[in-house]
Structures are given as C-alpha cells and as structure tokens.
Amino acid sequence: MTRAGAPAEESLFFQRCRWCSTTMYHRLICPACASSDLRTERSVGTGVVRHSTVALRGTPAARNVSLVEMAEGFTVRGRVKGPLASIRPGCLVRLCVIEDPVRGEPVFELCDSPYGGRYR
C-alpha cells in the first residue's frame, strides 16, 4: 500500500564526514577537516535543548526557537512544542515533525513531563 504524498516516517537526516566522523546538519563541507566526502545518515530523533529563545517578531503568537543537540552530536535549529516556560536548556526532546510547514524547520516535543524530567 502506498499513500501518495504522505511521508513514510518522520525522520531527520544529517551528514557524517567519512574522514573524521564529525556530524553536521545541512552542510556541504566538514567544519572540522574541510572534506566534502560526507555521507547521509538518519538521526534517531532525540536530542537535548542547548539554547532556547522566544521569538516575538513577525508572528501573531510568541514562538520558541531552540538549538537542539541531537544524539549523534550535531546541532539543529528548530521549534519545540509545549509551554514556553518549560522549554529550557537541558530538556530532552524528540522529533515530532520533520518540517514546520510555516518555517521549514524541524519541530520537536518535550520527552518528559515539563516539571519532572530534566536531563543533564
């Protein structure tokens, strides 16, 4: 069964340098050794919020903009769903939508209860 137009699975792809194994997101050249010999891998989809801000400009409602360090070691800019006050550096998040339909960025959700599961 195939459903035209429906994504098979939400997944995030990244690049890994064949020479030094550095991981990166949407890069053409390795930031560590400048090699262009990269291979694409699929992320497990979990990460930790490293930086989080609230964007108020150009949007009807405050929205979260976060830098998420993924389990593989690369960092992605995206949005984290949930109460703004509970999204802080150290929160464990999981990919829920590959691309924000508005901004074209990955969207994450908090893995744990906003008040319980802090991850360090």
Contacts with Zn ion, residue ranges (CB under 5 A):
17, 19-20, 22, 30, 32-33, 35
Nearer to Zn ion, 4 or 28 (CB): 28
Q: How far is the CB of 106 from Zn ion (least distance, A)?
A: 23
Q: How far is the CB of 47 from Zn ion (least distance, A)?
A: 21
Q: How far is the CB of 119 from Zn ion (least distance, A)?
A: 28
Tell me which amino acid residue 72 is: E
Q: Which of 43, 23, 25 is nearest to 33 (CA)?
A: 23
Would you say 69 and 48 are in contact if contact means Cβ atoms under 8 Å apart? yes
Nearer to Zn ion, 23 or 66 (CB): 23
User: What is the rounded CA–CA span in Å between residue 99 and residue 23?
Assistant: 20
